[in-house]
């Protein structure tokens, strides 16, 4: 009754449009710009119920691409109307169909569930009773500002922690020293690796490749890079990168020169990106990950809500 097969991007895109779990990270029209991604779909008869993108840059190993979140199953809109007992039965059948295929084709694979998919029982039950060949299930958290389309700037600021509002007020003394600018791929990589410690050359090359793709997709409105430079020396001092789906903006990069960071530019630039998202009529602003002690707290200080999601890993 249930079957699985590789599907093309258009079939997946039709599911994505009505899915309650859709995000930029499982949008087929976005994914088709990246290499080493295949999409599997599970059908009940002739009806596709769910698709699952898999990224595999190494033989027999599935992983999550750099700067991606919620990279995993995307369900059709049908599940929005299911009762809980129907969901458990259906999801068990569908996930087990996926897992029989994926655990056969891959020695290991990692994925994440969208924050609307909190039921991980099927994965926890996989190979139940066996010490090995079980899923490792890790809770993760993001920080999301909801209903930004319904709030004005004053209402948004009111939800910021006092220290963020203070930093914004203080930073007005420095605003005239900065201006918006374009940033090349080389400049973006140079600033990012100067601030973020990436030891592996292989990892660096992978990040560079994704940066290149992200920047190229600005023309398709999937991406926006906000860059700011110092007027005094034309040095780029802060860069933010956002990805967009139909309803959400996703902050994936937010880096700044140390001198300007100490002045409060991160708070100022983050607020600018939130207001830019509001201008685009986005419903929510997702910081995409709030899991380190310092950065997690900093992201929540903008009035964001905690969202739980799960990272899952399987290894034979």
How confident is the model over 92-115, as a mean pLDDT?
Answer: 96
Instruction: Please indicate, yes or no, if residue 294 is contained in any of the structural domains.
Output: no
Same domain for 11 and 61? yes
* pLDDT number for residue 80: 83
**In terms of Cα–Cα distance, which of 279, 253, 280, 254 is closest to 267?**
254
* pLDDT number for residue 295: 86
In this structure, how many other beta carbons lie within 10 angstroms of the beta carbon of residue 263?
A: 19
Find out whether 56 and 34 touch, Cβ atoms under 8 Å.
Answer: no
Asked whether residue 219 carries a pLDDT value surpassing 80, the answer given is yes
Q: What percent of the chain stands above pLDDT 70?
A: 100
Asked whether residue 128 carries a pLDDT value surpassing 90, the answer given is no
Instruction: Please indicate, yes or no, if residue 125 is contained in any of the structural domains.
Output: yes
How confident is the model over 223-252, as a mean pLDDT?
Answer: 97
CA angle 196, 294, 157 (to 5 degrees): 105
Domain containing residue 76 = 2-140
CA distance 13 to 264: 41
How confident is the model over 97-113, as a mean pLDDT?
Answer: 96
pLDDT tens, position by position, 35-62? 999 999 999 999 999 999 999 998 899 9
How confident is the model over 128-142, as a mean pLDDT?
Answer: 88
pLDDT tens, position by position, 137-188? 999 999 999 999 999 999 999 999 999 999 999 999 999 999 999 999 999 9
pLDDT tens, position by position, 250-281? 999 999 999 999 999 999 999 999 999 999 99
Instruction: Please indicate, yes or no, if residue 114 is contained in any of the structural domains.
Output: yes
Strands, E, within the chain: which ranges? Answer: 2-6, 37-44, 47-58, 61-63, 74-75, 108-113, 136-146, 178-181, 223-230, 236-244, 248-256, 284-286, 305-315
Instruction: Please indicate, yes or no, if residue 299 is contained in any of the structural domains.
Output: no
* pLDDT number for residue 16: 97
Instruction: Please indicate, yes or no, if residue 239 is contained in any of the structural domains.
Output: yes
Pairing assessment for the beta strands 74-75 and 108-113 based on DSSP bridges = unpaired
How confident is the model over 216-220, as a mean pLDDT?
Answer: 96
Same domain for 84 and 180? no
Same domain for 103 and 48? yes
How confident is the model over 227-231, as a mean pLDDT?
Answer: 97
pLDDT tens, position by position, 51-91? 999 999 988 999 999 999 999 999 999 888 888 889 999 99
4-10: long-range contacts (C-beta < 8 A, 24 or more apart)? 4/40, 4/41, 4/42, 4/43, 4/97, 4/98, 4/100, 4/101, 5/40, 5/41, 5/43, 6/38, 6/39, 6/40, 6/41, 7/39, 7/40, 7/41, 7/48, 7/51, 8/39, 9/39
* pLDDT number for residue 276: 98
Domain final residue, candidates 140, 157, 191:
140
* pLDDT number for residue 133: 79
Same domain for 112 and 187? no
- The DSSP call for residue 26 is G
pLDDT tens, position by position, 1-35? 999 999 999 999 999 999 999 999 999 999 999 99
In CATH, what number is assigned to the domain containing residue 248?
A: 3.40.630.30
Find out whether 53 and 39 touch, Cβ atoms under 8 Å.
Answer: yes
Same domain for 213 and 270? yes
Same domain for 130 and 42? yes
Same domain for 14 and 126? yes
Q: In the chain, how many domains are there? A: 2
Same domain for 132 and 160? no
* pLDDT number for residue 94: 97
Instruction: Please indicate, yes or no, if residue 229 is contained in any of the structural domains.
Output: yes
Same domain for 225 and 241? yes
DSSP 84-103: HHHHHHHHHHHHHHHHHHHH
Same domain for 135 and 71? yes
Asked whether residue 313 carries a pLDDT value surpassing 80, the answer given is yes
Asked whether residue 303 carries a pLDDT value surpassing 90, the answer given is yes
Same domain for 189 and 125? no
Instruction: Please indicate, yes or no, if residue 290 is contained in any of the structural domains.
Output: no
Asked whether residue 309 carries a pLDDT value surpassing 80, the answer given is yes
* pLDDT number for residue 294: 78
In CATH, what number is assigned to the domain containing residue 130?
A: 3.40.630
Asked whether residue 248 carries a pLDDT value surpassing 80, the answer given is yes
Instruction: Please indicate, yes or no, if residue 42 is contained in any of the structural domains.
Output: yes
In this structure, how many other beta carbons lie within 10 angstroms of the beta carbon of residue 247?
A: 12
CA distance 219 to 244: 12
State the pTM of this model. Answer: 0.94
């Amino acid at each position: 009754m249930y079957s699985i097969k590789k599907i093309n991007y258009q079939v997946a895109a039709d599911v994505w449009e009505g899915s309650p779990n859709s995000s930029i990270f499982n949008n087929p029209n976005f994914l088709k710009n990246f290499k080493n991604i295949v999409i599997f779909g599970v059908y009940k008869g002739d009806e596709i119920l769910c698709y699952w993108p898999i990224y595999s840059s190494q033989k027999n190993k599935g992983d999550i691409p750099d700067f991606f979140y919620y990279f995993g199953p995307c369900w059709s809109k049908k599940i929005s109307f299911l009762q809980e007992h129907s969901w458990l039965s259906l999801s068990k059948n569908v996930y087990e169909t996926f897992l029989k295929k994926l655990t056969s084709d891959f020695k290991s694979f990692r994925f994440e569930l969208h924050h609307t998919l909190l039921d991980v029982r099927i994965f926890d039950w996989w190979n139940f009773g066996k010490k090995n060949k079980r899923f490792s299930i890790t809770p993760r958290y993001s920080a999301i500002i909801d209903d930004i389309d319904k709030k004005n700037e004053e209402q948004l600021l009111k939800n910021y922690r006092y220290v963020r509002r203070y930093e914004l007020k203080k930073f007005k003394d420095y605003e005239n020293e900065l201006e918006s600018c374009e940033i090349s791929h080389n400049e973006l990589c140079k600033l990012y690796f100067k601030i973020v410690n990436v030891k592996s050359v292989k990892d660096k090359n992978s990040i560079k490749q994704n940066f290149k793709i992200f920047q190229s997709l600005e023309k398709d409105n999937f991406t926006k890079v906000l860059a700011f430079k110092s007027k005094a020396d034309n040095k780029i001092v802060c860069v933010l990168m956002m990805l967009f789906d139909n309803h959400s903006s996703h902050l994936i990069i937010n880096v700044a020169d140390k001198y300007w960071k100490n002045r409060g530019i991160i708070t100022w630039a983050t607020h600018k990106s939130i207001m830019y998202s509001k201008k685009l009529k986005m419903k929510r602003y997702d910081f995409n990950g709030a899991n380190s002690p310092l950065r997690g707290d900093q992201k929540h200080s903008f009035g964001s809500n905690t969202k739980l999601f799960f990272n899952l890993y399987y290894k034979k």
